[in-house]
Amino acid sequence: MVSVMAALDILAPVLVIVAAIAAVAIVYLAFTALKDRSDRRRDEELMNGCRSKRR
């Protein structure tokens, strides 16, 4: 039982660090996905504006 507690003492901080890195990665991916989506929407609006001016 002592070895399990020792393993948890070592693994707990590692798991916290891994969870923190994963959380930062999720926030980064969400931010870049939203930014890419808004950029794509803006590009489509510009292209639609150019197409309507040509006609």
User: Domain-by-domain residue ranges, the chain?
Assistant: 23-55
How far, in Å, are 45, 50, 52 from residue 39 at the CA level?
Answer: 10, 17, 20
Q: Is the pTM of this model over 0.75?
A: no
**Residue that wins the pLDDT comparison between 27 and 6:** 27
Confidence of residue 55 (pLDDT cuts 50, 70, 90): low
List the helix and strand counts (H, then E) for the chain.
1, 0
**Higher pLDDT, residue 9 or 50:** 9
pLDDT category of residue 26 using cuts at 50, 70 and 90: very high
Query: Taking CA 25 as the corner, what is the angle to CA 21 and CA 28, rounded to the nearest 5 degrees?
Result: 140
